[in-house]
Chain A
Amino acid sequence: MKPRGNLIYRQILDEIGKQVQIHPNYADLQNQFALILMVDGKMERAEIHFLEAIRLNPNYRDAILNLGFLYMETKRWKKAEEIFLSEAKRRPRDGFLHHVLGILYLQTGRQEEAAGRICKAMQSHSHYRDDYRKKGVWQRGAIRLDPKAESALKRIHSLPYAQFHNFIGLNLAKRGKFARAVKELKKAEGLNPDEFIFHANLGTVHYYQGAYSKAIQEFQKALEINPLYGMGYANLSYVYGLMGRSREALRCMIRAVRLNPRYADLRYNLALLYNDRKQYRKAVSELKKALRINPNYLFARINLGVLYEDQKRWKEAKREYRKILRITPDDEHVRKRLERIS
């Protein structure tokens, strides 16, 4: 997996390196660059860039966890423990953090503490119980840390590698290399199936590819893990819309709007769906809400004018068209519509 052995990884590393030089104050770029350096085995340089990302954004969780993994990889256990304990205190229900702490304690010979963390991880998500059972750690209702199980667990340092594949996958998707992007994102998902964003990203790439059923599956997995992920519902809605399943598209867009009520674009799309189902009053109401959020949202105003026109509400239609022509006087379509009803 090392970048130096792969042309695409190498190209991406070089590109990100150049971008870091141009934009040294972007925490995201610093973290991405550090991640690739770490997977490439350049630990000292990676540490510098992770620390820089955290300095720029002290709450940057991905960079903090990646730095913790770097310390584990370089056997600086105390520093790694500090990071993961502090994160686990902030998010006591995050099974992944307990899982990582369990591995860390195993690595340092603290079996009792490891067992405690493994228990907490299992309580958080059934995935861990299944995984521990497969690895022989969970047998007949009890934790068994025999040498074989321990060695299976110690091999898992998945997060930075999962992040790495996720990042490479997204980068490939931007380049239009969807098949390779899917492979990378599947690697990320396989390494950390609990991370909703990996499923969501895979769903998005399937949507772009036109593999709609697979896209739906992935978005649904993401939403099972994180039911508050509003954009997941919006993306599901777009996919259902493309499949002609407008009822499901509407149901999902309603949820997306409930979770992101200040997002004018979602309200606009919800209005289109209401209109498709001839629920004109609801469509008008959503367009008005979108315009309250963003009064310069031109498409929403044009749609509103057309809806008024369809309902023979000439006065309101003219008012909306005039407002549009004040912003874009060259819009011939709107001008003709206004002339026709004046």
Chain B
Amino acid sequence: MLREDFAIQANIRRMLARTDIDASQMEFGTVKGVVYIQGTFRHSRFNPSWDSDKANQFAVNSLYLLEKKIRRIAGVSDVIFQLNNWKKEKGHWFQVEMTKEDETK
């Protein structure tokens, strides 16, 4: 752990509150500057008139933006996403089906 780990945590908490992401379904931890994000990624608000393609694109953009914002925090060296419903492979985000166990969490 680096000296900044606690400050990184406090910064992420603050940053998440300033986004449209439903932070109540996510957990985050910091280990020597490496940030872990777990849980379910959801927006707290989105336009109900959007079709699923548009909603997905919005989610993908939000995930890229979230990663960018976290990396900008002083002391952060890497971000690892371990989400139930989205996965990043070769730089691209894909939606994945949640298991029944994840859905009931």
Contact = CB atoms under 8 A, between A and B. Distances in A.
Contacts of B38: 298
Contact of B13 (A238, A273, A298): A238
Contact of B34 (A276, A307, A333): A333
B1 interface: yes
Given A249-B6, A276-B5, A298-B38, A208 B30 contact: no
B80 interface: yes
B96 interface: no
A269 B31 contact: no
Contacts of A298: 29, 36, 38, 82
Contact of B78 (A208, A302, A306, A333): A333
B18 interface: yes
Nearest to B7: A241
A238 B31 CA distance: 17
A303 B31 contact: yes
B14 A208 contact: yes
Given A244-B7, A272-B6, A333 B30 contact: no
Contact of B1 (A175, A303, A330): A303
Interface residues of A, number: 33
Nearest to B10: A238
Contacts of A219: none
B1 A307 contact: yes
A174 B44 contact: yes
B11 interface: yes
A331 B80 contact: yes
Interface residues of B, number: 28
B6 A331 contact: no
Interface string B1-42: 101011101110110011110000001111110101010000
Q: Chain B interface secondary structure, helix, strand, loop or mixed?
A: mixed
B29 A299 contact: yes
Interface in A294-327: 298-300, 302-303, 306-307
Given A298-B29, A299-B27, A241 B6 contact: yes
Given A241-B7, A303-B29, A333 B80 contact: yes
A299 B1 CA distance: 12
A246 interface: yes
A244 B20 CA distance: 28
A273 B3 CA distance: 8
A210 interface: yes
A299 B31 contact: yes
A242 interface: yes
17 contacts: A210-B14, A242-B10, A244-B7, A268-B29, A272-B5, A275-B5, A276-B3, A283-B1, A298-B38, A298-B82, A299-B28, A299-B31, A299-B36, A302-B31, A303-B1, A303-B31, A333-B80
Given A244-B7, A283-B1, A333-B31, 10 more contacts: A176-B18, A176-B20, A238-B9, A241-B7, A269-B6, A272-B1, A276-B5, A303-B1, A303-B29, A331-B82
Interface of A: 173-176, 207-208, 210, 238-239, 241-242, 244, 246, 249, 265, 268-269, 272-273, 275-276, 283, 298-300, 302-303, 306-307, 328, 330-331, 333
Interface of B: 1, 3, 5-7, 9-11, 13-14, 17-20, 27-32, 34, 36, 38, 44-45, 78, 80, 82
